[in-house]
């Protein structure tokens, strides 16, 4: 395995502000505040906010829990100080994090999606659900320019970033060279190769036409001309070839007369 491996395309869409704020407001009202301390972030959703979450899903066509999971996956980049956070501040820091995914390789925190099923199950059974997020836990996965990368764990985070940038740059240069190479090749029309007339056929035609133009009788600048052009399926036989002077041949061009 190489040091860096591009594993899949991964487009992370920014959640619209109104939808994100509405979901975070429900989280805030459920917990009284949104706080972070000691690298641990804990929150809950219970039946107390069931009507709010139902109204949210009617308005935005998404589950409140799913939106919160997608936002809080990036908690390690949102909650950088041990204190209370406002919903607007959380969204701003979340949006900044997503916007940077196209600018620099970013290590992905451990996803919260595995907890989403348990969360839905608890709410369906009218049970409260609490989730503890350890902000020190990260996968060995990075995201950059719409792709997920795996990097061997023997490298530091800074080394991993540099390796991903190097891999991306090599691939960019490769495709730039391929584009330049193939853009230089013009589209060519089909070329009909004209087979050489056998010498014995040329002699037969000369004798048959008496060494003069079959049209005007001229003996100057004589050429072997195909009655049915090669491009239209004609053959190199004496029956399909006649002597024409240069002028008569040019007048005929590629037409069958």
DSSP state string for 227-247: SS-GGGT--SSGGGEEEEEHH
Distance CA 233, CA 256 (A): 11
119, 153, 187 - which closes a domain: 153
Residues 6+ apart with CB under 8 A from 137: 109, 110
> Does residue 159 lie in a domain region?
no
User: Could you tell me if 129 and 48 lie in one domain?
Assistant: yes
Do 143 and 225 have their domain in common? Answer: no
Return d(Cα 114, Cα 249) in angstroms, integer. 82
Contact 32, 46 (CB under 8 A): no
**CA torsion, ordered 129, 139, 147, 158, to nearest 10 deg:** 130
Burial 154-175 (b: 16+ CB within 10 A, else e): eeeeeebbebbeebbeeeeeee
Q: How far apart are CA 211 and CA 206, in angstroms?
A: 5
Condensed to tens digits (0 to 9), the pLDDT of residues 145-165 reads 989 999 988 999 999 999 999
Same domain for 205 and 86? no
Asked if residue 163 belongs to a domain, the reply is no
Region of residue 193 (left: phi > 0; alpha: psi -120 to 50; beta: else) = beta
Domain limits for position 42 = 4-153
Say how far apart CA 185 and CA 166 lie, in whole Å.
Answer: 30
> Using an 8 Å Cβ cutoff, are 12 and 148 in contact?
no
The model's pTM is 0.64
Mark whether 62 and 148 lie in a shared domain. Answer: yes
Domain boundary among 118, 153, 188: 153
Rounded Cα gap, residues 241 and 244, in angstroms: 9
pLDDT digits (tens, 9 = 90+) for 208-249: 888 888 888 888 888 888 888 877 778 888 888 898 888 888
pLDDT in tens, 107-155: 988 777 677 777 777 777 777 777 778 888 888 889 999 899 999 889 9
Instruction: Domain count for the chain, please give it.
Output: 2
């Amino acid at each position: 395995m190489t040091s860096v491996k591009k594993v899949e395309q991964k487009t992370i869409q920014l959640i619209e502000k109104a939808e994100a704020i509405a979901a975070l407001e429900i989280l805030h009202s459920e917990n009284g505040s949104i706080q972070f301390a000691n690298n641990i972030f804990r929150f809950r959703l219970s039946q107390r906010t069931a009507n709010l979450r139902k109204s949210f899903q009617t308005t935005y066509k998404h589950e409140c829990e799913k939106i919160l999971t997608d936002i809080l996956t990036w908690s390690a980049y949102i909650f950088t100080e041990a204190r209370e956070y406002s919903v607007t501040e959380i969204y701003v820091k979340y949006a900044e994090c997503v916007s940077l995914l196209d600018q620099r390789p970013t290590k992905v925190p451990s996803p919260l999606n595995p907890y989403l099923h348990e969360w839905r199950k608890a709410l369906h059974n009218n049970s409260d659900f609490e989730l503890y997020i350890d902000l020190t836990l990260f996968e060995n996965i990075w995201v950059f320019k719409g792709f997920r990368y795996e990097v061997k764990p023997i490298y530091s985070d800074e080394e991993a970033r540099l390796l991903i940038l190097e891999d991306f740059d090599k691939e960019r240069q490769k495709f730039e060279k391929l584009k330049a190479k193939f853009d230089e090749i013009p589209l060519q029309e089909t070329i009909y190769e004209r087979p050489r007339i056998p010498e014995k056929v040329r002699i037969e035609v000369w004798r048959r036409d008496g060494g003069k133009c079959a049209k005007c009788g001229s003996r100057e600048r004589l050429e072997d001309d195909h009655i049915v052009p090669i491009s239209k399926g004609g053959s190199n036989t004496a029956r399909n070839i006649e002597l024409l002077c240069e002028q008569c041949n040019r007048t005929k061009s590629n037409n069958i007369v």
